[in-house]
Amino acid sequence: MLSGKHILLGITGGIAAYKAAALCRLLVKAGAEVQVVMTPLAKQFITPLTMATLSRRPILVEFFDPENGAWNSHVRLGEWADLMLIAPATANTLAKMTHGIADNLLLTSYLSARCPVAVAPAMDLDMYAHTATQENLQTLRRRGVAVVEPDSGELASGLEGKGRLAEPERIAAFVEGLFDEKKKSLSGKRFVVTAGATIEPIDPVRYITNRSTGKMGYALAAELARRGAGVTLVSGRTQLSVPQGVERVEVETAAEMYEAAVAAFEGADGGVMCAAVADYTPAAVADRKIKKSDDDLSIPLKRTRDIAAELGRRKGGRLLVGFALETDHEGEHAAAKLERKNLDFIVLNSLRDAGAGFGVDTNRVTLIDRSGAERLPLMPKSEVAARIVDRMESLLLK
Ligand code: CTP
């Protein structure tokens, strides 16, 4: 089933490294060509000889061969691979991946890889549960890295809990799933996602913006792409990197976002309007810096165009999802927006909910359509994205 697939199997230095042998065998048996790259510490846990024998190729650890100076090109490895799978992935390697640290061949290969990347974390339960590790995993997920959840059970330390490397069979099945186009429920579909905050200039120095970080919209774009959809992510200002498989169009103002979203909606099967678009913009942008005086200052603002409402007018039979951020009379306001913008459903965030809103990695939302409301529990934004895309899929199938 993995016939002819090139898998770069990264092994890091944890006690679970011994399971990489069984995993490698399963991948080779399924027809994959496996190239093993190990961190220097991983060699202490499983021998290069074992891995070279099972993968039928010399394993790679160092940037170059100290004997003859032959260079192990991480760029070439990155190009060769159809998938980079890091199993086990220690807390240390996950942290380095998150921060772009490149101090061994495995990490430089990761940074060079153009292919999908999957990690199977394995560590002690407290290291796994630590906020640092969880935030790193969250960041990697947001960038499109697939995570094979660890199992719960007895750990090498003798403690019981979550952190045990997933069994090799489960990891191999996960890998097959990644390659199985049939499992890509949205392949052939295309969506426009708007995300992040717009910036409305007042003069060459100042601007009006809002607190949106774009995390929810980026999680949605990543989830749609993971399921095989083409995604145009029309993004306002954000610090986030483009998720795997997503095409990003960067914009600043509400007017630019309008143009880009309307253009991308032409060839799309639907849209998800997640951006925090300014409702007002300065009526005129001063071409020089506005100087202060002793008087108060007011800046005349004019309305921007509503992107969601415009796509709602154009949508025909296509799918359109919107967001609503409310502080009071939440259900009522969201239902009114659903109608006004001709949406199929609307995702309501209430700023009254702890753990929901700007900048955080979790969200608590209610999905509202014309037949009712479904309140979801507090969960990571990546899971909220999966639930939203589940709902979109069920509407597309209708
Ligand atoms: N939206 C949009 N274009 C705008 C404004 C909003 O596409 N110019 C989209 C948002 O991406 C979101 C939804 O519309 O999906 C939010 O609705 P909106 O009525 O604009 O919410 P608020 O900006 O919060 O408006 P209000 O001040 O009425 O609460």
Q: Could you tell me if 193 and 113 lie in one domain? A: no
| CATH code, domain with 228 | 3.40.50.10300
Residue 353, pLDDT > 80, answer no
Pick the range with the lowest mean pLDDT from 173-187, 194-208, 217-231, 314-328: 173-187
Residues 106-127 pLDDT 10s:
999 999 998 999 999 999 999 9
Q: Is residue 61 part of a domain?
A: yes
Give yes or no for residue 337 CB within 6 A of ligand 1.
Answer: yes
Tokens for 212? 């949106």
Cβ of 187: how many Cβ atoms within 10 Å? 12
Known catalytic membership, residue 210? yes
Q: Could you tell me if 245 and 327 lie in one domain? A: yes
Q: Which atom of ligand 1 is nearest to the CA of 308?
A: 7
Q: Given this model, what pLDDT does residue 380 score? A: 86
- Give 28's Cβ-side CA count (13 Å radius): 17
Cβ of 237: how many Cβ atoms within 10 Å? 17
The whole-angstrom separation of Cα 258 and Cα 247 is 17
Residue 30, pLDDT > 90, answer yes
From 210, 218, 272, 273, mutation site for ligand 1 pocket: most ligand atoms within 8 A of C-beta: 273
Q: Which of 179, 205, 237 is the last residue of a domain?
A: 179
Plot region of 163 (φ>0 → left; ψ -120 to 50 → alpha; else → beta): left
Residues 311-343 pLDDT 10s:
999 999 999 999 999 989 999 999 999 999 999
Q: Which atom of ligand 1 is nearest to the CA of 325?
A: 24
Task: Report the SS3 class of residue 326.
Answer: strand
Give yes or no for residue 194 CB within 6 A of ligand 1.
Answer: yes
Edge-to-edge strands of the sheet including 230-235?
Answer: 246-250, 230-235, 190-195, 270-273, 319-326, 345-350, 365-369, 372-375
Q: Could you tell me if 71 and 200 lie in one domain? A: no
Q: Could you tell me if 175 and 187 lie in one domain? A: no
Task: Report the SS3 class of residue 102.
Answer: coil
Q: Which atom of ligand 1 is nearest to the CA of 340?
A: 19
Q: Could you tell me if 197 and 302 lie in one domain? A: yes
Q: Could you tell me if 310 and 286 lie in one domain? A: yes
Instruction: Please choose, from the candidates 201, 310, 317, 226, the residue with its C-alpha nearest in 3D space to the C-alpha of residue 264.
Output: 310
Q: Could you tell me if 91 and 159 lie in one domain? A: yes
Q: Is residue 1 part of a domain?
A: no
Q: Could you tell me if 64 and 192 lie in one domain? A: no
Confidence of residue 156 (pLDDT cuts 50, 70, 90): confident
Pick the range with the lowest mean pLDDT from 80-89, 174-183, 205-214, 332-341: 174-183
From 218, 277, 313, mutation site for ligand 1 pocket: most ligand atoms within 8 A of C-beta: 277
Show Cβ contacts of residue 352 under 8 Å, excluding neighbours closer than 6 positions. Answer: 327, 330
Please, what is the average pLDDT of the chain?
Answer: 93
Burial letters 66-104, b for 16+ CB under 10 A, else e: eeeeeebbbeebbebbbbbbbbbbbbbbbebbbeeebeb
pLDDT (mean) for 37-44? 97
Q: Given this model, what pLDDT does residue 180 score? A: 80
Give yes or no for residue 306 CB within 6 A of ligand 1.
Answer: yes
Q: Given this model, what pLDDT does residue 296 score? A: 97
Residue 359, pLDDT > 90, answer no
pLDDT (mean) for 173-197? 89
The whole-angstrom separation of Cα 62 and Cα 314 is 56
Out of 136, 210, 349, 363, the active site residue is 210
Q: Is residue 343 part of a domain?
A: yes
In total, how many domains does the chain have? 2
Instruction: Please choose, from the candidates 227, 250, 260, 278, the residue with its C-alpha nearest in 3D space to the C-alpha of residue 392.
Output: 227
Q: Could you tell me if 157 and 192 lie in one domain? A: no
Q: Which atom of ligand 1 is nearest to the CA of 324?
A: 16
pLDDT (mean) for 134-159? 87
Q: Which of 153, 179, 205 is the last residue of a domain?
A: 179
Contact between 346 and 332 under an 8 Å Cβ cutoff? The reply is no
Asked whether the bond before 88 is cis by omega within 30 degrees of 0, the reply is yes
Give yes or no for residue 279 CB within 6 A of ligand 1.
Answer: yes
Q: Given this model, what pLDDT does residue 182 score? A: 63
Helix intervals (H) in the chain: 19-29, 48-55, 74-80, 91-99, 105-112, 125-129, 131-142, 168-179, 215-226, 254-265, 307-314, 330-340, 381-397
From 234, 313, 337, 358, mutation site for ligand 1 pocket: most ligand atoms within 8 A of C-beta: 337
Q: Could you tell me if 162 and 260 lie in one domain? A: no
Residue 105, pLDDT > 90, answer yes
Highest mean pLDDT of the ranges 73-82, 177-186, 270-279: 270-279
| Proportion of the chain above pLDDT 70, given as a percent | 99
Q: Could you tell me if 235 and 344 lie in one domain? A: yes
Q: Given this model, what pLDDT does residue 313 score? A: 98
The whole-angstrom separation of Cα 115 and Cα 80 is 9
Pick the range with the lowest mean pLDDT from 66-80, 266-280, 299-313, 322-336: 66-80
Q: Given this model, what pLDDT does residue 357 score? A: 72
pLDDT (mean) for 30-47? 97
Residue 130, pLDDT > 70, answer yes
Q: Given this model, what pLDDT does residue 141 score? A: 85
Q: Which atom of ligand 1 is nearest to the CA of 311?
A: 7
How many A from CA of 324 to the centre of ligand 1? 7
Give yes or no for residue 212 CB within 6 A of ligand 1.
Answer: no
Give yes or no for residue 339 CB within 6 A of ligand 1.
Answer: no
Give yes or no for residue 325 CB within 6 A of ligand 1.
Answer: yes
| CATH code, domain with 102 | 3.40.50.1950
Q: What is the DSSP string of 198-246?
A: --EESSSS-EE--S--SHHHHHHHHHHHHTT-EEEEEE-B-SPPPPTTE
Give yes or no for residue 113 CB within 6 A of ligand 1.
Answer: no
Q: Which of 161, 179, 197 is the last residue of a domain?
A: 179
Give yes or no for residue 277 CB within 6 A of ligand 1.
Answer: yes
Domain that holds residue 168: 6-179
Q: Given this model, what pLDDT does residue 190 score? A: 96
